[in-house]
Structure 1
């Protein structure tokens, strides 16, 4: 048989194989260190490594990224732009009648940070966050705000500036433009390693704003089932 015919047949079979896989779109919004969005693209982060693993573990689904933002995420989900949110939690503004949560596959925390010279020996400094000038991420759900991510609510009830980056929020505290920032603990640990000269100027709270119990949040009418995603995430036996 002509080798060109063989190659064409292989290509067609591969195309059919890929096309036959069910696409599951996963939301990617800037959420370091899990997702880093730069210039409208999801470029890196721990979640991308996890998604590669999901694709390598099976051949039924192909998991792809859909870039959105924390503030736009709910509307994009309602408009069926994506099917799943990874490193998420069903209590973060989801309509529970339309989604289900996987098992918990990872745990992390959010901490408050301030300049060390502001806190000094005041162990109660972080007890009343509402009296401080706060910087936080627009669209995030925070325990101190009763998980209400509505921008107008936050601006009305707190002295708060809503931004798009943890890095910028840390710098706002260091430059005294804010008293307190709320930062993902894993991001803060990475930042401290990368900035050993600045790290001693910061102190983090011993209490957490919240403990993340990370799951996948999946559209109920997608083809992906809870047992399948639990198995793929490796937490179904825990």
Structure 2
């Protein structure tokens, strides 16, 4: 090959390599904490679907090339430390009242709404009045979760003393305890009940679901100050997914309401409440 041609090939190769390197450098990684919270974050061995958080990650990564969203496993109690120490840039499907007080964060309204309700065994003449008095019942709760009926106090000793609570690390176990009369009531999200009955259709019609709502989950995304992505950028991405129907495709099969638009996309910087 003539010297000139070898020079041209070398220049083109170097240019392509530089372009590829530039593209890689431009794609900034954003880590999202993934704490068990079905059907948003599920245990693979129990699920018929990958979880809603991974599906939203994929949709965001297909939407744009500036950021690459990845999930990083964490735990309900550990997620606060992981966020503060920078191991995770974001926490999704959150509420600032769930233990985030005093931790600096920015808030983006995701425009997604779910509900936490109470579930009992459908038994004889039992009706909605069964859910009025919780303190006289045996409750099954998820350890570390913040419940509105308990004033968002997640302390195990408080819940055991005041609500005769059995605390577990499995929503399936809580519903199975209800079905087998080991506890009276479990508190779970409405979306999780749908997920449970998809996997355990033999229990259809055996659960009494409360009309009483413990709390409405108007899901928020929390962003660590100093993260590569800004709250405004993330809010814009969610609105694009809302507009193209991807949010509805992911969430509506689980009866999670996709709002027409996020009512409050304002950003709260360094929030402490």
Question: TM-score w.r.t. structure 2 length?
Answer: 0.76
The Cα of 1:34 is off from its aligned counterpart by 0.8
| CA–CA distance in structure 1, aligned partners of residues 94 and 219 of structure 2 | 5
Cα 1:65–1:16 change in 2 (3 A) is same
Gaps of 5+ in 1: none
Alignment counterpart, residue 83 of structure 1, candidates 73, 79, 89: 89
Relative to structure 1, is the Cα distance of residues 7 and 206 closer, same or farther in structure 2, using a 3 angstrom cutoff?
A: farther
What is aligned with 1:206? 211
Structure 2 unaligned regions, length at least 5: 243-260, 264-273
1:181 aligns with 2:163: no
Alpha carbons of structure 1 residues 79 and 153: separation in structure 2 relative to 1, 3 Å: farther
Look up the SS of the partner of 2:54 in the other structure.
helix
- 1:27 corresponds to: 33
- Aligned 8 A contact 2:84 2:224 in 1: no
1:107 to 113, 116, 125: 113
CA shift digits 1:14-70 (9 cap, x unpaired): 34422332221101011111111358xxx9201111111112222222111110111
Give the superposed CA RMSD. 2.6
How far off is 1:91 after superposition? 2.0
Distance 1:157 1:23 in 2: 44
Whichever of the two has the greater Rg, that structure is: 2
Query: Per-residue CA shift, 1:101-154, capped at 9, x if unaligned?
Result: 112321011110011117x24432111112211111122111111112233332
Distance, in Å, in 1 between the alignment partners of 2:34 and 2:14 is 36
Q: Kindly indicate whether residue 50 of structure 2 is the aligned counterpart of residue 44 of structure 1.
A: yes
Q: What is the alpha-carbon distance in structure 2 between the residues aligned to residue 97 and residue 74 of structure 1?
A: 8
Q: Distance in 1 between matches of 2:16 and 2:147?
A: 52
How many pairs were matched up? 234
Secondary structure of 1:75's counterpart equals: helix
Q: Give the equivalent residue in structure 2 for 1:230.
A: 235
Q: Shift in Å at residue 219 of structure 1? A: 1.1
- Aligned counterparts of 2:102 and 2:63: Cα–Cα separation in 1: 28
Q: Distance in 2 between matches of 1:185 and 1:196?
A: 16
Contact 2:128 2:210 in 1 (8 A): no
In the TM superposition, 1:1-238 aligns within 5 A as 10=16, 13-38=19-44, 44-95=50-101, 98-117=104-123, 120-234=125-239
TM-score when scaled to structure 1? 0.86
